[in-house]
Amino acid sequence: MSIWRFANPAAFMALTRHLVGPLWLAAGVLLALGTIWSLSAPPDYQQGSTVLILFIHVPAALLAINTYFLMAIASGIGLIRGHHVSYLVAKAAAPIGAAFTAIALITGAVWGQPMWGTWWVWDARLTAVLIMFFFYLGYMALWAAIDDPDKAAELTSVLCLVGVIFSVLSRYAVFFWATLHQGASLSLASGQRVDDAYRDPLYLMIVAFYVLFLALLLTRTRTEIRRRRARALRAKASRASEAMEAAAPA
């Protein structure tokens, strides 16, 4: 069975019809449990209760970067294979990625003020994330600005691929330069860097954010497919109406 059969809008809608509801339910339950567990974690000996911000900042930052990667992959597939569903997945993911990027930037600033003594620094990682946020906004603005959906899909895909460098920098800037932002909190290669008291609720919040992301992505992609189908049907009806008027005797 080929994965490309899901590039067919009907197959995609049929596959996701029964997934959306359970995903929303799972996201709600996991977020509730994760938030309760996170807020009951003990204060850190250095950071005090600001350590609790980590439970939303880290998952949001992970999703901010990974959503852009997903958009870039979907856009690339759209450009190479011409699948409309790929373009629509990228379009549906953009507002979600922008929201997670905004959360990462805001929670980072709110944590930075008491811990670093400043809301913002022009550090390589922070700056890359801010530019990536602007790419999200630019991508959505370009979709909204072009009437022809096929042309919009191609141009936004090119813009998305241009901006992928900033999602790479957002992830790896801490390895390339000496940044004020600390390195990865969770790393398979470097062993455990977060105490057990914080690590387990953090993992739960990461899973909860990912499940919420999937629920949002499927819901928004289904919306885009329905909109496209409705537009095509209206255009077809309009053409049929014009043909009937032209054929009618004067």
Partner 1 sequence: MFSDHYALYVISAYVSTALILGAVIWSSVAAGRRAKVELEEAERLGGRR
User: Where does this chain bind partner 1 (CB under 8 A)?
Assistant: 35, 39-40, 43, 48-50, 52-53, 56-57, 60, 95-96, 99, 102-103, 106-107, 110-111, 113-114, 212, 216, 219-220, 222-224, 226-227, 229-231, 233-234, 236-237, 240-241
Q: How far is the CB of 106 from partner 1 (least distance, A)?
A: 5
Q: Which is nearer to partner 1, 5 or 226 (CB)?
A: 226
CB of 39 to partner 1, least distance (A): 6
- Least separation, in Å, of the C-beta of 229 and partner 1? 6
Whichever of 79 and 207 has its CB closer to partner 1, that residue is 207
For residue 44, report the phi and psi dihedrals to the nearest 5 degrees: -80, 150
Q: Compare residues 128 and 217 and give the one whose CB is closer to partner 1.
A: 217
3 state SS for the chain: CCHHHHHCHHHHHHHHCCCHHHHHHHHHHHHHHHHHHHHCCCCECCCEHHHHHHHHHHHHHHHHHHHHHHHHHHHHHHHHHCCHHHHHHHHHHHHHHHHHHHHHHHHHHHHHHHHHCCCCCCCHHHHHHHHHHHHHHHHHHHHHHCCCHHHHHHHHHHHHHHHHHHHHHHHHHHHHCCCCCCCCCCCCCCCCCCCHHHHHHHHHHHHHHHHHHHHHHHHHHHHHHHHHHHHHHHHHHHHHHHHHHHHCCC
Q: Which CB atom, from 55 or from 135, has the smaller least distance to partner 1?
A: 55
Q: Nearer Cβ to partner 1, position 64 or 169? A: 64
In the bound complex, what is the minimum distance in angstroms from residue 35's beta carbon to partner 1? 8
Q: Which is nearer to partner 1, 32 or 162 (CB)?
A: 32
| Distance in Å, CB of 178 to partner 1, minimum | 26
CB of 158 to partner 1, least distance (A): 25
